[in-house]
Structure 1
Amino acid sequence: MGLWEALAILVAGIGAGGINAVVGSGTLFTFPVLIALGYPPVVATVSNSIGLAPGSLTSAIGYRRELRGQRRRVIRFGVMSFLGALTGAVALLRLPEDVFTLVVPVLIAGACVLVLLQPRINARLRRRRAGRPDGGPLLPLGIYGAGVYGGYFAAAQGVVLIGLMGSSLDDELQRINALKNALTFIVNSTAAVFYIAFASPQWTVVALVAAGAVVGGYLGSLYGRRLSPRALRLLVVLIGLSAAVQILWSTFGG
């Protein structure tokens, strides 16, 4: 790995950690960079998931003030996130790589749509009627589904979680975002442990993504509330769509 390649991965990790703390779609920063550098999609996903786990922890720590009083939610939803992450990780390693190559562009496109729609989702949440304190009986199933998605391919799982919990829980959006960070850490760390045990990550990539994600996650939790997300959302979408095009081109174009 050359110096410029290592620097590109490190910078992508910083961006991913920061955006995961604020919005949740950091994989759309790191995954396209790894694909552009020639890593196979499954290897890129496995290495990326392991690398982003420490950044998820720093994001959760940065929002620890908003997590106060949510211990019951973290335990209840954390169990579902754990089970979902295991399901998604097993699917990634058991299904043929061709299936992943075909499914991932669709997941990326869906993640980009979610990122673009996030302002409307947030506006709708501000106008919504009060939800239930614990979200009702169907919310844990939705959390499980988000965990499956995160364990298989992590892009925009934070947006999915905010949409699910924000429409179901009677609470402030910043507290919901803090809960999202905690659940994302559970999903990413669960998938990371599974991949370390049963997959073959590229450890140099893991180290660079992890170093960047730790810094980005901490900075994102400190300064993310002060930033206007419009330009960042557009950048995420452009990078994500470029990744989808790259995968489809490598599969069908040559």
Structure 2
Amino acid sequence: MVLTFVFLIIAGFAAGLLASVAGLASLASYPALLLVGLPPVIANVTNTTALIFSGIGSMASSLKELRGNWKRLAIYIGLSLVGSVIGSYLLLIAPASSFEKIVPFFILLAGILLLLSGRKKDVSTRKMKEAHATPKKHFWVSLISLIGIVLVGAYTGYFGAAGGVIFLAILSVIMDEKFAVINATKNAIAFVGNLVATIIFIFKSHIAWLYVIPLGFGLLIGGYTGPIIVRHANVHLLRALIALAAFGLAGYLFVTAYF
């Protein structure tokens, strides 16, 4: 049991870094819970609960980037919560077999979106300005963006371990801000979404609390450290490495689910 705790703390620290940097905690924490013997759905529910600690750490470390963006953040959080509630209930009523088979495609999509969002900032900014040039275009861009946040919120409630990477990809397109600010916004949205999903899981599902403690401790430390790294890292290289990691995880989970 001691070795299991140590293993989960290390996995949690790695997952906390990945969660706060790119929202891809599943690269470390989700497989770690599977390795210690939890079934897929219980592992995901437990992981979503532990991710709250990563959110606490990353929020505390990202206050500098969030300053002045609270109003917009509140809107994004409200929209994502609507989806999160839907996704959480979907996870509870869907059979475990369907969950295992659909997760690899979710993660693959996240990696693709992150790569697409990694275009040079002046390109995406120019396109956004062009899209807002007329009231009609502004309406459709705003509507699609808001619907996208709701849908990603539902994804987060269904598979919280990798939802952040899709939030990061979408926010990179719709926000004209530095990557550190976009990342901090993603961390805040993911934190609230995981918190609400956990409240639902407490009453509707089974959480392996014994594993939440060591995993959450590692996630707290990793979540606090991640935003500090983002401030000094090469953004384009960081996006590329995280996307490649997502592809690797998607491939691994695809093989385990279908073969």
Q: TM-score, normalised by structure 1?
A: 0.86
Verify the 8 A CA contact 1:83 1:147 in the aligned structure 2: yes
- One-letter identity of the residue aligned with 2:155: Y
Cα shift at 1:63: 1.2
When residues 155 and 52 of structure 1 are mapped into structure 2, their CA distance, relative to the original with a 3 A threshold, is closer
Equivalence map 1:35-74=2 (5 Å): 35-74=34-73
Root-mean-square deviation (CA), in Å? 2.4
Cα shift at 1:40: 0.5
Cα shift at 1:231: 5.1
Q: Is 1:180 aligned to residue 179 of structure 2?
A: no
Equivalence map 1:156-171=2 (5 Å): 156-171=162-177
CA distance in 2, matches of 1:11, 1:240: 22
When residues 50 and 143 of structure 1 are mapped into structure 2, their CA distance, relative to the original with a 3 A threshold, is same
Q: Is 1:197 aligned to residue 203 of structure 2?
A: yes
- One-letter identity of the residue aligned with 1:168: I
Aligned length: 245
Verify the 8 A CA contact 1:32 1:242 in the aligned structure 2: no
Verify the 8 A CA contact 1:158 1:180 in the aligned structure 2: yes
Normalized per residue, the structure richer in helix is 2
When residues 138 and 107 of structure 1 are mapped into structure 2, their CA distance, relative to the original with a 3 A threshold, is closer
Verify the 8 A CA contact 2:66 2:185 in the aligned structure 1: yes
When residues 239 and 171 of structure 1 are mapped into structure 2, their CA distance, relative to the original with a 3 A threshold, is closer
What residue is the counterpart of 2:216 in the other structure? 210
SS in 1 for 2:180: helix
Cα shift at 1:82: 1.0
Q: Is 1:244 aligned to residue 254 of structure 2?
A: yes
Structure 1: gaps spanning 5 or more residues = 250-254
What residue is the counterpart of 1:252 in the other structure? none
Verify the 8 A CA contact 2:16 2:25 in the aligned structure 1: yes
- One-letter identity of the residue aligned with 2:253: A
Verify the 8 A CA contact 2:108 2:246 in the aligned structure 1: no
Verify the 8 A CA contact 2:46 2:208 in the aligned structure 1: yes
Cα shift at 1:170: 2.8
Percent identity (aligned)? 28
CA distance in 2, matches of 1:126, 1:26: 29
CA distance in 1, matches of 2:83, 2:14: 26
Verify the 8 A CA contact 2:184 2:227 in the aligned structure 1: no
- One-letter identity of the residue aligned with 1:248: Y
- One-letter identity of the residue aligned with 1:121: S
SS in 2 for 1:38: coil
Q: TM-score, normalised by structure 2?
A: 0.85
Cα shift at 1:32: 1.2
